[in-house]
Structure 1
Amino acid sequence: MARNLARILRGCGSLVPFMKTPARPPRSSSSSIPVRTLVEMLPSLFSSKPRDFSLPNSSWGEEMMRLYEHYNGHTETEGEENQERKWNRLPSYNRSLKYAAGGVYLSKLIQSKARLFTRNIRDPGAAFEYVLFIDKEKEKCVCIFQAGHLLEGPPGHVHGGAIATMIDTVTGTHASAISAPVLTANLNIDYRSPIPLGSTVLIESTLEKTEGRKLFISCKVTSTDGSKRHTDATALFVSVSIGHLLKG
């Protein structure tokens, strides 16, 4: 059966040029492609539904899973009394891109290859592993972030640029949930202590105020127990129109 599936997958690969076919392993008496590889590839081949990167995968550590279950267990349910803060998980997909700056329409092939920056590495656990939750009133957003080995800056620790990327991602997603679409106008970051690679941290975003099209947001990055402050930041976002984005 594995051999038959492998033939189907190779045929599909010739029809979809942007799909990467995994390297062929050495031939064995049982199959030419590992069953695990086939199982991982089948959902993307036969399902049109995009992958939600904010769902648990095998790379998530115990602390990441514990926090995910904690916040996911406090999601809002219809008709429930709002006695404590309720969180809604925000799905995270690869970007579906149709236009470049200036309103130039991109070909289907280029569209299919476009990737949201933090989701451009498909290997689970290699880079940015994160999930975001936002509260009912959209005043707060929390991100559970696990840093992979490709984000190394100082030996054994996360690169400052990767931390800035996550802060911009979290605060930007928060601002977009309030007034989409938005652009980052200003981002100030104070680095306080390094983040070890492979560790899990919390990135908490708070809406401070709004002034017309401006949204002022503060952010902090802490250890999961809150005992260590890694980073503080403030951000200013400006609400813009879709037409403004397409003009470039």
Structure 2
Amino acid sequence: MLAHIARRIGHFHGHQISSAILRRMRASLKTINPISLQDFSQPNPSWSPEMRKFYDHYNAQCDTDTETYENKTGPWRKLPSYNRSIKHATGGIYISKLIQAKARLFTRSVNEQGATFEYVAFFNKEEKICICLFQPGHLLEGAPGHVHGGAIATMIDTVTGTLAGYLSGPSVTANLNINYRSPVPLGSVVIIHCALDRIEGRKTFITCKVTSTDESKVYTEATVLFVSIKLGSLFG
């Protein structure tokens, strides 16, 4: 099993990694436990009862129990959120141990719980959709008492990008078109709904809307185009 993972890490969509680095990766495979990585999308004390309610609702339908890591039957999969996006790549949890950097995923750049981006995403592979529960913290204020539009755009880009990655592999945003319908109150819980529109070659088109938890109010709508890339290009 370890050798199989090492071989997969050694070829990033046609890009070879040096034998020296590959040897270090193989050695690290014997000591690193993926489950030990901190998942920042787990419930914490800053989550409101409403946030926790919807988390429990979707988590109960997941194919893996995110607290015990036991396999179970369910249409959804909870997507972990690490402090570096590289960990989502094939073998990324190991590569991130070897490529040390101060770089950090923007939505996870503040350690204070509840201050900025509190969110968790669930992916339904059969329906090709992604649901994200988002509770914006006080440091994301734009207009008084409401979330900055750039923070909403960040979440839309993050969640749709995650869906594109799971459907089409490593991808980058080519076009993000947003219509703001209504301001989002700070501290509220909203749902970001993402769905695959179509795939044309290297292009993946995704639609998105941000609503209240009962879906009676639409805050934002968006369409996003992603273009798949070779993962090796990210490493020069």
RMSD after superposition: 2.5
Number of residue pairs matched by the alignment: 189
Q: CA deviation at 1:75?
A: 1.3
Q: Residues 172-209 of structure 1: CA distance to partner in whole angstroms, max 9, x if unpaired?
A: 00001112210000000000000000000000100010
- The answer to whether the 8 Å contact 2:160/2:206 transfers is yes
Q: Which amino acid aligns with 1:76?
A: D
What is residue 127 of structure 1 aligned with on the other side? 116
- The answer to whether the 8 Å contact 2:178/2:220 transfers is yes
What is residue 63 of structure 1 aligned with on the other side? 50
Structure 2 CA distance for partners of 1:160 and 1:90, relative to 1, 3 Å: same
What is residue 21 of structure 2 aligned with on the other side? none
**2-structure distance, mates of 1:79, 1:59:** 28
Q: CA deviation at 1:136?
A: 2.9
What is residue 168 of structure 2 aligned with on the other side? 179
Structure 2 CA distance for partners of 1:73 and 1:79, relative to 1, 3 Å: closer
**2-structure distance, mates of 1:93, 1:140:** 21
Structure 2 CA distance for partners of 1:242 and 1:89, relative to 1, 3 Å: same
Q: CA deviation at 1:71?
A: 0.4
Give the TM-score of the pair, scaled to structure 2: 0.74
Residue 33 (structure 2) pairs with residue 50 (structure 1): no
- The answer to whether the 8 Å contact 1:156/1:197 transfers is yes
Residue 111 of structure 1 aligns to a residue whose secondary structure is: coil
Q: CA deviation at 1:109?
A: 11
Q: CA deviation at 1:65?
A: 0.2
- The answer to whether the 8 Å contact 2:203/2:225 transfers is yes
Q: Which structure has the greater CA radius of gyration?
A: 1
**1-structure distance, mates of 2:86, 2:154:** 20
Report % sequence identity: 62
Residue 171 of structure 1 aligns to a residue whose secondary structure is: helix
Q: CA deviation at 1:242?
A: 1.6
- The answer to whether the 8 Å contact 1:172/1:182 transfers is yes
Structure 2 CA distance for partners of 1:79 and 1:155, relative to 1, 3 Å: closer
- The answer to whether the 8 Å contact 2:62/2:72 transfers is no
Q: How does 1:23-172 map to 2 (within 5 A)?
A: 49-76=36-63, 80=73, 86-95=75-84, 111-137=100-126, 139-172=128-161
Q: How does 1:184-223 map to 2 (within 5 A)?
A: 184-223=173-212
- The answer to whether the 8 Å contact 1:138/1:178 transfers is no
What is residue 237 of structure 1 aligned with on the other side? 226
- The answer to whether the 8 Å contact 1:55/1:131 transfers is yes
**2-structure distance, mates of 1:229, 1:140:** 18
Q: Which amino acid aligns with 2:47?
A: W
Q: CA deviation at 1:74?
A: 1.1
Structure 2 CA distance for partners of 1:177 and 1:109, relative to 1, 3 Å: closer
- The answer to whether the 8 Å contact 1:134/1:140 transfers is yes
- The answer to whether the 8 Å contact 1:138/1:177 transfers is no
**2-structure distance, mates of 1:176, 1:111:** 23
**1-structure distance, mates of 2:147, 2:57:** 25
